[in-house]
Amino acid sequence: MRNGSSVTIYQVARAAGVSPSTVSNLLNGRPGRMLPATRQRVEEAIEQLGYRPNRTARQLRTGRTQAIGLVVPSVANPFWGTFARHLEGAALAEDYHVLLCNSEREPERERRYLEQLWDDGIRGVVLCSSLPSLDHVKPLLEAGLTVVAFDRTAQPGDPEALVNISVDNVVGAHLVTQHLLDLGHRRLAYVSGSLRAVNRQERYRGYLSAITDAGLDLADANAELSTSDTSYGDRDAAELGRARTVELLGSANPPTALVAMNDMCALGVCAGVRDTGRQVAEDVSVVGFDDILLAELCAPALTTVRQPLERMAAEAFQHLRAGIEGGAPLPGRSLLIRPELVVRASTAPPR
């Protein structure tokens, strides 16, 4: 009795006076193969003995698991934490489990995780990878893994079977930059970690396009990019924002508005602004991206771009399920969500 209670299908069968096959048939949506009376006897036996199927055995036999993998940079980042929560909620509703994997933005770790998940029988994964290339998942995709790439738009050269779900980063960054321009700002800067990540690059593109679309010259607008090439993790996004901001504001002709690659970074930027003795909004406008929970709690509340995480998580899960239960992965497709500008108190007209 290593396994605790462990009522098996055989015991149910004996109790109901049928064969294990019949119990299995009932359990697997083939109740038509028996008389209603038999069916009831089996159901009673199941009830009585408190039978619960052994998922491991089932998985070994069928090759299917009721679990999906979630690979995120780090769930310590509230953005990913919130996403994880929503994904898990969607999964729970269909009796699926979620295996949590923090890649810490290390490619090698990410690869290792995916393989491990595959070995564990997982056939569907939400991959939140910032890597510019997803070639390393190709073998798994070919073997039959369903992968939803989240927060990463489809790239030329991506594996075919990939499903992409992402907010439109270009539009989002455009929106928020436009907002700053509308307020009258002309000297802007963009604060970002390494631009090797696809979504970061898109956001930067949106930022630039808003400036040029407004008929401004990039040089005139004094649009700067303050980045760092070392591979910053999430926990350091804020520190990065803080350090860069102090630098930027110390320069000769400092920007009056700062666009951060995401909210965590923006919080750091705000801290940096204060470090130099200035006030956010009054002296320097700051905007973020994501609309994490804290964006509206910090002082001043952050103007940012909202990602509808719950909807996106539900969508991601449904894709996975379709891929897993359909047996074959879905044909690759791309879902681009239109983000929403959320104006709060961290932006104001320049002095």
Partner DNA sequence: GCCGGACAGTAAATCGATGCACGAGTCTTT
Partner DNA sequence: AAAGACTCGTGCATCGATTTACTGTCCGGC
User: What is the C-alpha to C-alpha distance for residues 148 and 166, in angstroms, rounded to an integer?
Assistant: 10
Residue with tokens 């103007």: 303
Q: Which member of 163, 188, 271, 286 binds a copy of itself (CB under 8 A)?
A: 271
Structure tokens at 282: 């009054």
Q: Whole-number minimum distance, CB 12 to DNA, in Å?
A: 7
Tell me if 20 contacts DNA by CB under 7 A: yes
* Contact residue for DNA among 14, 15, 24, 149 (CB under 7 A): 24
CA angle 95–99–104, rounded 5-degree value: 150
Q: Which is nearer to DNA, 19 or 279 (CB)?
A: 19
- Applying CB under 7 A, which of residues 14, 43, 49, 54 lies at the interface with DNA? 54
Give the tokens for residue 152: 């990463």
Least separation, in Å, of the C-beta of 289 and a copy of itself? 16
DSSP 1-15: -TTTT---HHHHHHH
Q: Which stretch binds a copy of itself (CB under 8 A): 124-132, 153-161, 198-206, 268-276?
A: 268-276
Using CB under 7 A, which of 44, 48, 60, 89 touches DNA?
Answer: 60
Task: Choose the contact partner of 22 out of a copy of itself, DNA, none; CB within 5 to 8 A by kind.
Answer: DNA
By residue count, the chain amounts to 351
The 10 Å CB-count burial string (b at 16+, else e) for 268-283 is bbbbbbeeeeeebbeb
Using the rule CB under 7 A, is 50 a contact of DNA?
A: no
Q: How far apart are CA 92 and CA 70, in angstroms?
A: 14
Q: Which does 154 bind (CB under 5 to 8 A by kind): a copy of itself, DNA, none?
A: none
The residue (of 115 and 340) whose beta carbon lies closer to a copy of itself is 115
Q: What is the DSSP string of 69-125?
A: EEEES-TTSHHHHHHHHHHHHHHHHTT-EEEEEE-TT-HHHHHHHHHHHHHTT--EE
Angstrom distance (rounded) from CA 112 to CA 25: 38
Interface with a copy of itself (CB under 8 A), residue from 57, 93, 214, 218: 57
Q: Which positions lie near a copy of itself, rule CB under 8 A?
A: 2-5, 52-57, 59-60, 63, 65, 67, 70, 74-78, 80-82, 84-85, 88-89, 95, 97-102, 116, 118-121, 143-144, 235, 238, 242, 267-268, 270-271, 274, 280, 293-294, 297-299, 301
